[in-house]
């Protein structure tokens, strides 16, 4: 099944207003590759300014709260993020699961809240090196996906990102065979929950040290529909070959 490729940069806790020229440059790059859906999930301080720049890249957020409002100091609701200019949000990133203690239930609730507010969602799942070495990666990641999957999940507003935790920012990546195998496993798990048609339409991204050197061979895999890209998305020069690889 043909699925439009999706390439999203996650800037994490990087970027100041001085770096908005890179956001603008990436937006112009996206316009040169209309077959690819390109986005940048920026730190909250840059969402409004980034969304006001001309360009073909959507602006997303890196997290949202599951409630619309309340006594949640330091948190932002999906409605607040939309008002700032974000149209997508990342939920369940491993850095939040591991350092902030976010549970599968939390991730599902945040995804539901984002969708209810009108946002699209990139839901992240992945395994540690210990789980991979123990041979339990498929079982653990599949269970994580099914427990995090929000009610009503469908391909028109949800994408899944597989991020082997041990590969994020390390330069180490699984073999191509392992990446394809996991993506196929996740698609089969989706089919068991939302049906084969929706599972076939759902975009599953790879995240974990994707860059201009390895993007083409990874994105060419049958069940890989793009990438969730960290460090290589911080500049237009480094992000361009990743976008081009998906075109």
Helices (H) and strands (E) in the chain, counts: 11, 8
The pLDDT, as a whole number, for residue 168 is 82
Check if the beta carbon of residue 19 is closer than 8 Å to that of residue 231.
no
For residue 90, what pLDDT band results from cuts at 50, 70 and 90? very high
Please give the annotated binding residues for substrate, written as ranges: 10-12, 169, 209, 230-231
For residue 1, what pLDDT band results from cuts at 50, 70 and 90? low
Please give the annotated binding residues, written as ranges: 10-12, 169, 209, 230-231
The pLDDT, as a whole number, for residue 217 is 97
The pLDDT, as a whole number, for residue 124 is 98
3-state SS track over 83-115? HHCCCEEEECCHHHHHHCCCCHHHHHHHHHHHH
3-state secondary structure of 67: coil
Please write the tens of the pLDDT for every residue from 150-183. 999 999 999 999 999 988 878 778 999 999 999 9
Check if the beta carbon of residue 110 is closer than 8 Å to that of residue 149.
no
| Summary mean pLDDT of the chain | 96
% the chain with pLDDT above 70: 100
One DSSP character per residue, 212-246 reads TTTHHHHHTSTT--EEEESGGGSSHHHHHHHHHHH
Cα distance between residue 197 and residue 89, in whole Å: 24
| Residues with catalytic function | 93, 163
CATH number assigned to the domain covering 6-246: 3.20.20.70
pTM of the model: 0.97
Q: Is 12 left (phi over 0), alpha (psi -120 to 50) or beta?
A: left
């Amino acid at each position: 099944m043909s699925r439009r490729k999706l390439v999203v940069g996650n800037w994490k806790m990087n970027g100041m207003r001085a770096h908005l020229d890179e956001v603008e440059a990436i937006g112009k790059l996206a316009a040169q590759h209309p077959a690819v859906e390109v986005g940048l999930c920026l730190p909250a301080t840059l969402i409004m300014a980034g969304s006001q720049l001309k360009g073909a890249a959507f602006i997303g957020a890196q997290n949202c709260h599951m409630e619309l409002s309340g006594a949640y100091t330091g948190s932002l609701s999906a409605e607040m993020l939309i008002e700032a200019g974000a149209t997508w949000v990342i939920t369940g990133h491993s850095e939040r699961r591991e350092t902030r203690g976010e549970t599968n239930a939390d991730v599902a609730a945040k995804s539901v809240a984002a969708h209810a507010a009108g946002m699209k969602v990139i839901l992240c799942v992945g395994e540690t090196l210990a789980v991979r070495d123990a041979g339990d990666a498929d079982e653990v990641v599949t269970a994580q996906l099914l427990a995090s999957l929000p009610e009503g999940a469908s391909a028109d507003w949800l994408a899944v990102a597989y991020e082997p935790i041990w590969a994020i920012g390390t330069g180490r990546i699984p073999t191509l065979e392992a990446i394809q195998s996991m993506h196929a496993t996740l698609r089969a798990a989706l089919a068991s929950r939302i049906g084969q048609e929706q599972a076939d339409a759902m975009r599953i991204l790879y995240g974990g040290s994707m860059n201009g050197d390895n993007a083409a061979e990874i994105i060419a895999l049958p069940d890989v529909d793009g990438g969730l890209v960290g460090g290589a998305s911080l500049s237009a020069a480094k992000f361009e070959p990743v976008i081009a690889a998906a075109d």
